[in-house]
Amino acid sequence: METEKLMKTASHAVLLVVLVLVLLGILTWTGVLRPSQVPVVGKAWCSVYWGVMGYSTGGPKVLIVYGDDGLGNPDGPCEAGLQQCSLKEILANPEILGVRADTMRLSSVNLGNLKSYSLVIVEKAKTMETKYMRAFIDYYAQGGRLVWTGDAGTELGHDDEYLYTNERSETDANQIIGPWARKQGDVAVSLDQLLSVEYTANYCTIKTCPAGQAIYVGKLSPEPTGTHPLIFGMGNNLPLYVFKDEDFSVVETIAGGITTQALTLDVQSNLVGTNGKDYGNQLPLIVASGMGDRAVYYALPPEYYANPKLYNSTKPGTPGPYFLPIENLYYGMICG
């Protein structure tokens, strides 16, 4: 009798553990809960979760998608030591992360190809057909983690159409919303709302950027608490330099929704373009949005942070803290 009672208690305990694990899995998959937020066993839960999801061998799978134009250096070997390294090579460097990422051309993208990856990064894909943009949105909607960079998707593909303000809401205005708001037949494709930012221009198209010269653009300012996973450990006021064709996108955050501006560029005095427009003095560089920050926008492609010549051309060598945005990108998106 006593044995039967113990077995019944044990079976109830096992069932409770299973139910807790299932609940944790659902909350993590939907982004309501980051793995690191699980009390006591945050780091262990990250490994358990990705193991259960089928990534026990070699860890979570990462995919870099790229096109033919735009900001970013997705693939290719490093030049001059750590300088001019592609994102793929930096991720694979065992002294940094040791993560092997697959690469895929934009023309090969469909939802089926994306679903097998736990993290998808999109860069150097300025010209993008709406059908591909929609595939990334659908990937996110099915639990994927998406990193969008720079000016990816800001040029329409063949026969693509913009979405107008009066097609999204009841208004008399009939204006183009922006390049990330498209329509495919009668379907609205709203990447801008997913990323919580609206693209304006690339820095060197609104300011004069002499070829081959380092251009000081401002100081990096992490969000005030300094605890967000994407900027954890970064110091305040690190200077940022850019070069022509290796700059960043100027964007504006969209009001509403769940949004965290994790990293800001403080340009100190208002950025006024050659067109006379005032863009303000606080420019978003890393913006996380959605439940669990599963969609993140990087105005400056991640690998540019780790390129010494981009932040100080007079001091070549180990970039030190400038590798943190790349480490944090991976760990922040995977484990949070």
When mean pLDDT is compared across 103-112, 174-183, 246-255, 316-325, the lowest value belongs to 316-325
Dihedral pair phi/psi, residue 272, rounded to 5°:
-115, 120
Terminal CA-CA length for the chain: 47
Contact between residue 194 and residue 140 where contact means Cβ atoms under 8 Å apart: yes
- Entry pTM: 0.85
C-alpha 322/C-alpha 317 separation (Å) is 12
Closest to 285 measured CA to CA, from 272, 294, 296: 296
Residue range 268-275: mean pLDDT, rounded? 82
- Cα–Cα distance for residue pair 41/168, rounded to 1 Å: 44
* Beta carbons of 249 and 297 less than 8 angstroms apart: no
Tokens of 287: 């913006």
CB 11 within 8 A of CB 38: no
Which range of 114-118, 233-237, 320-324 scores highest in mean pLDDT? It is 114-118
- What span, in angstroms and rounded, lies between the C-alpha atoms of 91 and 70? 20
Share of the chain above pLDDT 70, in %: 75
Domain layout of the chain by residue ranges: 2-54, 61-334
Each residue of 43-68: pLDDT tens digit?
565 656 655 555 544 568 999 999 99
Burial class from Cβ neighbours inside 10 Å (0-12, 13-18, 19+) for residue 93 reads middle
- Which residues, 6 or more positions from 203, have their beta carbon under 8 angstroms from its beta carbon? 209, 217, 242, 247, 248, 249, 250
Give me the pLDDT at residue 315, please: 47
Query: Which CATH number does 61-334 carry?
Result: 3.40.50.880
Question: In the numeric block, which tokens belong to residue 237?
Answer: 């006021």
Q: Which residue has the tokens 């993140």?
A: 296
C-alpha 203/C-alpha 244 separation (Å) is: 9
Residues whose CB is less than 8 angstroms from the CB of residue 49 and which lie 6 or more positions away in sequence, other chains included: 24, 25, 28, 35
d(CA 268, CA 287) in angstroms, rounded, equals 20
pLDDT of residue 31: 55
Residue 11 pLDDT greater than 80, yes or no: no
Band (317; pLDDT cuts 50, 70, 90): very low
Cβ count within 10 A of residue 109:
24
What is the pLDDT, as a whole number, of residue 305?
83
Sign of CA dihedral 133, 134, 135, 136: positive
Supply the DSSP symbol for 57.
T
Calculate mean pLDDT across residues 277-281. 89
Q: What is the pLDDT of residue 167?
A: 86
**Phi and psi at residue 176, in whole multiples of 5°?**
-65, 130
Task: Check whether 153 has a pLDDT greater than 70.
Answer: yes
- The token pair at 286 is 């890393």
Q: To the nearest whole percent, how much of the chain has pLDDT over 90?
A: 46
Q: Where are the alpha helices (DSSP H) in the chain?
A: 2-30, 42-50, 87-92, 111-114, 130-141, 165-168, 191-195, 203-206, 302-305, 308-311, 324-334
Strongest mean pLDDT among 27-31, 111-115, 289-293: 111-115
Mean pLDDT of all residues in 68-92 = 83
Which of residues 46 and 89 earns the better pLDDT score?
89
Comparing 93-107, 174-188, 269-283, the range with the smallest average pLDDT is 269-283
Q: What is the DSSP string of 180-241?
A: TEEEETTEEEEHHHHHTEEEEEEHHHHS---TT--EEEEEEEE-TTS--TTTTTPPTTEEEE
Arithmetic mean of pLDDT, 242-260: 89
Lowest mean pLDDT among 56-60, 150-154, 272-276: 56-60
Question: 77 vs 11, which has greater pLDDT?
Answer: 77
Mean per-residue pLDDT over the chain, rounded: 82
